[in-house]
Amino acid sequence: MSSSFVHPLADVKSTRIGENSRVWQFSIVLPGAEIGRDVNICSHCFIEDDVVIGNGVTIKNGVQIWNGLRIEDGVFIGPNVSFSNDRFPRSREWPATFAVTKIRERASIGAGAVVLPGVEIGRNAMIGAGAVVTRSVPPNAIVVGNPAKIVGYVDAARGEKIAPAPSISEVGPLNTRVKGVALYNMPRVADIRGSLTVGEFERSIPFPVKRYFMVFDVPSVETRGEHAHRECHQFLICVRGSCAVVADDGSNRQEFLLDRPDVGVHLPPMIWGIQYKYSSDAVLLVFASHHYENSDYIRDYSEFGRLIGEKS
């Protein structure tokens, strides 16, 4: 601990503190805590025994880190963030084991947020000030409110709203910032009898289709998708209402609003896809190039990132 700094007014019992870490005045660190390199623990913090803090973490003033907290590299924890590790606490009654709460790499938690026990805050997620996190937060998600809900995704640049094609001859794909992902303007014919839109497989829909499914009656706070496919192509059309689609190729992330039945988005294999912000009447129609096969799904974003890295 000789290369770290401990303020004379701090009470630090742990000897497992990495190089260049700093603990400021009126902070208490119990003997079992493990703290990495280049960590900054500001004043009036309390860190219990069964705590692991990674490298490059910033913990601002007035934060208590209780048993069961696992904080990975590069995390930011704002002032007066409140963690808990027991959902049903009683005075002088302790559970056999405390719930483990995981804060993944480079996540940020805003001032005054509350994080309930046993949740996982995903890599690079952003928790808004004052949010109450009652459930696990996916990687890159931005959440706010009580209870916290997803309102966006970090670095997910909004795609331009696609205008209806003036004529059938002007339908087709519009490339996006995400590799291989395209928005499609489908043919639309309107007259006094109503409107019609049509797609042809392997033409306007750029692959042969073996399966379709529809998603509907989704509560607006829920997020679906959150996976990639190894081989399967998907083509998404919101035939009623609206929903937002986030596409992520591991380097670029972009959000698209599907709010017309003549607009579709093509998600090729090895693209991480998310659907959220469903309107109450939304019906999402998805065409797939493969029959359902569980092994084709990649459901862990860390694994997705590793596989993308291996392909590059």
pLDDT, tens digit (0-9, with 9 covering 90-100), for 184-194: 988 888 888 99
Distance, CA of 244 to CA of 258 (rounded, Å): 6
Q: Are 270 and 230 in contact (CB under 8 A)?
A: yes
Q: Indicate if 173 and 298 belong to the same structural domain.
A: yes
Average pLDDT over residues 79-86: 96
Average pLDDT over residues 73-87: 97
Q: Indicate if 196 and 128 belong to the same structural domain.
A: no
Beta-ladder partners of 240: 283
Distance, CA of 150 to CA of 158 (rounded, Å): 15
More confident residue, 214 or 170: 214
Q: Indicate if 18 and 58 belong to the same structural domain.
A: yes
More confident residue, 39 or 3: 39
Query: What tokens were used for 250?
Result: 């591991």
Q: Are 62 and 79 in contact (CB under 8 A)?
A: yes
Predicted confidence at residue 311, as pLDDT, reads 73
Q: Which residues are catalytic?
A: 227
Average pLDDT over residues 213-236: 93
Mean pLDDT of the chain: 93
Q: Indicate if 127 and 170 belong to the same structural domain.
A: no
Q: Indicate if 33 and 166 belong to the same structural domain.
A: no
pLDDT at 1 over 70: no
Q: Are 102 and 122 in contact (CB under 8 A)?
A: no
Predicted confidence at residue 2, as pLDDT, reads 58
Name the pTM for this structure.
0.88
Which amino acid, residue 162? I
307's enclosing H/E stretch is helix 301-311
Q: Domain boundary at 154, 175, 209, which? A: 154
Predicted confidence at residue 220, as pLDDT, reads 78
Predicted confidence at residue 76, as pLDDT, reads 98
Confidence of residue 55 (pLDDT cuts 50, 70, 90): very high
Q: Domain boundary at 87, 120, 154, which? A: 154
CA distance to 153, 213, 215, 235, 241, per residue, from 285 (Å):
23, 6, 7, 8, 12
**Residue 78 is part of a domain; what is its CATH number?**
2.160.10.10
Confidence of residue 162 (pLDDT cuts 50, 70, 90): low
pLDDT at 166 over 50: no
Q: Indicate if 128 and 14 belong to the same structural domain.
A: yes
**Residue 251 is part of a domain; what is its CATH number?**
2.60.120.10
Predicted confidence at residue 160, as pLDDT, reads 54
pLDDT at 247 over 60: yes
Q: How many domains does the chain have?
A: 2
Q: What is the DSSP letter of 170?
A: G
Distance, CA of 35 to CA of 15 (rounded, Å): 9
Distance, CA of 31 to CA of 12 (rounded, Å): 8
CA distance to 52, 72, 187, 285, 292, per residue, from 175 (Å):
44, 36, 18, 21, 27
Per the structure, the complete domain to which residue 101 belongs is given by: 1-154
Q: Indicate if 128 and 213 belong to the same structural domain.
A: no
pLDDT at 222 over 90: no
Report the DSSP pairing between strands 141-144 and 149-153. Answer: antiparallel
Q: Indicate if 292 and 200 belong to the same structural domain.
A: yes
pLDDT at 292 over 50: yes
Query: What tokens were used for 143?
Result: 């959440």
Distance, CA of 107 to CA of 15 (rounded, Å): 26
Average pLDDT over residues 229-238: 97
Q: Domain boundary at 131, 154, 177, which? A: 154
Q: Indicate if 8 and 26 belong to the same structural domain.
A: yes
Task: Give me the sheet containing 120-121, strands edge to edge.
Answer: 34-35, 52-53, 69-71, 101-103, 120-121
Q: Indicate if 202 and 291 belong to the same structural domain.
A: yes
Q: Indicate if 49 and 194 belong to the same structural domain.
A: no
Query: What tokens were used for 209?
Result: 């289709």
Q: Indicate if 244 and 274 belong to the same structural domain.
A: yes
